[in-house]
Structure 1
């Protein structure tokens, strides 16, 4: 599907640019070299670039009105204490048998706005859009298991002072995933509209077939994106298991 431009095809205000990059090319290139290894970077990594991690923002202290009011939430009950802290701690841990991805996304678990925009098919449009919807920060983890199975998970957080950007971001992800031919989808339990998608038609580059699956969900001001790539079809249970566990972390 070609990109028609920065119009609002999904009805969300999001630019018509897909979050997929050149993962297929990276896997195919590795196969040609005889080192078939999956990677789910979703964009061309800027090798050697130093990225400054955005510091977590502290929760503002609000003055309490006089008189008896409701008791403040405990740290266990107040979700914002967790989400305003180190966002990387909310990412799923790598499996014990996981290996480093062929190309590690971001730097030290963080993605800058520029790096995140580069994961779209139209980086310039995506960059402008993410600024307009108050992109705050993004945490990322990635790994591979075996010779070809690879995973990337992103948690993208928005300030949400004027709009529900996390929900809009997920709706845009649904739009693109559902418009890919040969796609099956399932709802993610415990979410309002989170879904996983398995794409049964592979992308083929340099004679290598690469299958993919993805998941999109949101909670509060965080949009969750999960990507799986492999040289064989991705089972629904694989992407669903990751999605349910990652949503549970939020």
Structure 2
């Protein structure tokens, strides 16, 4: 037994005293891009939306209509939010952070505008990565699940948004408060591929179903 232990120790000592063996050079092919920029007119054609997913998902946010004023809210100025900032917009912040992370949250982009002095509109897109879970569908289903129990419109199941597959739009009346103008709101939700769209409209006058439906249809067309 002492012989085995001594032999092992001696072997480690010999190995430790030997100079390190250099590693073989890494195999590396030539660089895939040219050493200098191609001359004007010789650049390759950009990938189509079929071959490049970014073509489908960049520049997809609905723009404000002519005559509307961009909202001065802080989150609108940048138009983007990370996972933490987006999760803070929910009552159950920690729970939503965990769910969104598990669904492979990728990005949030949004815009908002003021129209006709009384109307405020926001459009938000939440995109998820290509993970094992369909994050956009899961997030949309979670939002749909509590809409009928909304305290401002119990039992309101909304109307189906044609052409969206699972989209719905809702119109609510916010309770009037003493000394304040009445408030009305509408919301549309739908999922298209890896993106969930969430649209809100607030006004001091009633909002028609057509108003929220047209907004949702316009955003759907861009996706």
TM over 0.5: yes
Structure 1 residue 191 corresponds to structure 2 residue 161: no
Tell me if structure 1 keeps the 8 A contact 2:122–2:200: yes
**Equivalent position SS for 1:152:** strand
Q: Root-mean-square deviation (CA), in Å? A: 2.1
Tell me if structure 1 keeps the 8 A contact 2:100–2:135: no
For residue 124 of structure 2, the aligned residue among 154, 169, 172 is 154
Tell me if structure 2 keeps the 8 A contact 1:159–1:221: yes
* TM-score normalised by L of structure 2: 0.71
**Equivalent position SS for 2:189:** strand
**Equivalent position SS for 2:186:** strand
Structure 1 residue 135 corresponds to structure 2 residue 97: no
Partner of 2:19: none
Distance 1:130 1:107, change over 3 A: farther
Partner of 1:19: none
* TM-score normalised by L of structure 1: 0.63
Alpha-carbon distance between aligned partners in 2 of 1:229 and 1:133, rounded to the nearest angstrom? 30
Q: Which blocks of at least 5 consecutive residues in structure 1 are unaligned?
A: 1-73
Alpha-carbon distance between aligned partners in 1 of 2:89 and 2:179, rounded to the nearest angstrom? 22
**Equivalent position SS for 1:125:** helix
State the shift of 1:104 in Å.
4.1
Counterpart mapping for 1:1-250 below 5 A: 75-78=48-51, 80-83=53-56, 86=58, 89-180=59-150, 181=153, 183=156, 185-202=158-175, 204=177, 207-250=180-223
Alpha-carbon distance between aligned partners in 2 of 1:112 and 1:206, rounded to the nearest angstrom? 38
Question: Could you say which structure has the higher helix fraction?
Answer: 2
State the shift of 1:107 in Å.
4.5
Tell me if structure 1 keeps the 8 A contact 2:147–2:157: no
Distance 1:219 1:205, change over 3 A: farther
Work out the number of aligned pairs and report it. Answer: 174
State the shift of 1:102 in Å.
4.4
Tell me if structure 2 keeps the 8 A contact 1:105–1:142: no
Q: Which structure has the higher relative contact order (CA within 8 Å, separation 6+)?
A: 1
